[in-house]
Amino acid sequence: MADFVFADRYAEAGLAPTAQVITARQASAERILEEANSAQILDLASAYYSRPELDLKWFRDELGKEDSTFSLINNERETRVLAAAILGEMVAAGRPVAILCILTGNVVGHRPPAEAEWLLHDAKKAMAQVSVEERTPKVVDTKIAGTTNPKLNDEIAALALNDLVTLQTLLNHVRAEATSSVRAVSAQASKALAEIGRQLNLQREEGQILWWLIGGHSRNLERPFASWGPLQVALIGALDLASLTTVSRLGPVAAPALLDRVIRLAAPPQAAGAQSLANAVDTLDREEIAKLPLLADKVPDFLSPVMSALNLAKSVGVGAWHARFQENTGLGADIVCEPEALAVQLYREHLLAQLL
């Protein structure tokens, strides 16, 4: 973590700690950056979005190793700045969990961060960049060759008759050369085959997505998208596409365009444009929701509100989930989203869950 970047984040937030505090915080942040697991990354994203009653004991303990006076109660704003700085380094390194949880936590603009808006911008940029990089084919080196010892031929030619000691030494050299050559060929072939296999898997993923798009039918509910309105297709299509994203971690960079294309296959809406999340979820049958591949138990509701809404509707019933939803996510069920934005939000939530 660069000294300039770390200190600059404090300056951007209007905080002016001493040089000693900066040094202590940076040492803690670098350790967290190296050792943080997925659950802790989700905690950092929740802290970034000011989730109430968040248990950050592990974070306090890490900072306490360099500064025993650090308190989450007295340093709430600094905690957000630190979380953003650490997440920013993870985003710059292209770590998918960090990128996705920052995007899903924003809930298509309904939960703006109190600090460090630059992080959200960086996450959006990294999402597109990493998506492209993951699908960019690498050069496969087909010139596979073993290792050779050019001196060995001369040594064999110079072998004297009945020199059994030298013969045994040369045989050992031949065996060592053969073993080394086999290992080199095996390593080169494995590397080439791994890349070919990755490219084939990506092509298979893209082919399945293309046939799904052409077919115009829901993969999970086995009905044409024309059976529902745009809001319902946004939810159903997002989970369909997420289920088909089995190789790339962040999905195709054109995922928003694919989802927009699927939404256009929906039946004409009774009310065009943006609608509430409650309207989108409650117009689905409970039996239909039960068939959807929800992974709500893997991501905190705070960071996956749309999946949480569907899961609550599945468990407590359509129309009866609104109060619990607000309690779990801090958002009202009446938040308004365009169908395309709703689909992208749910798609990313499911991708995040698949990575955990």
What was the pLDDT predicted at 305?
A: 95
What was the pLDDT predicted at 153?
A: 65
Which residue from 155, 193, 197, 195 is spatially nearest to 176, judged by alpha carbons? 155
Phi/psi at 143 (5° precision): -90, 85
Domain ranges in the chain?
A: 3-135, 150-200, 216-355
The total of other beta-carbon atoms located within 10 Å of residue 268's CB is: 8
Contact predicate 87/19, CB 8 Å: no
Contact predicate 11/85, CB 8 Å: no
The total of other beta-carbon atoms located within 10 Å of residue 135's CB is: 19
Point out the least confidently predicted range of 139-153, 191-205, 334-348: 139-153
Point out the least confidently predicted range of 57-66, 150-159, 240-249, 256-265: 150-159
Q: List, as one string, the DSSP characters of 221-234.
A: T-SBGGGS-HHHHH
Question: Tens of pLDDT along 52-71?
Answer: 888 889 988 888 888 888 88
Question: Tens of pLDDT along 271-322?
Answer: 557 788 988 898 888 888 889 888 878 899 999 999 999 999 888 888 888 9
pLDDT over 70 at 252, yes or no: yes
Give the whole-angstrom CA distance, residue 79 versus residue 59: 9
Percent of the chain exceeding pLDDT 90 equals 36
- Beta-strand (E) ranges in the chain? 275-276, 336-337
Q: How confident is the model at residue 116 (pLDDT cuts 50, 70, 90)?
A: confident
Q: Enter the DSSP assignment of 330.
A: S
pLDDT over 90 at 341, yes or no: yes
Q: List, as one string, the DSSP characters of 169-186.
A: HHHHHHHHHHHHHHHHHH
Q: How confident is the model at residue 25 (pLDDT cuts 50, 70, 90)?
A: confident
What residue type is 146 in one-letter code? G
What value does the mean pLDDT take over residues 111-134? 91
Give the whole-angstrom CA distance, residue 356 versus residue 51: 20
What was the pLDDT predicted at 160?
A: 62
What was the pLDDT predicted at 4?
A: 47
pTM of the model: 0.84
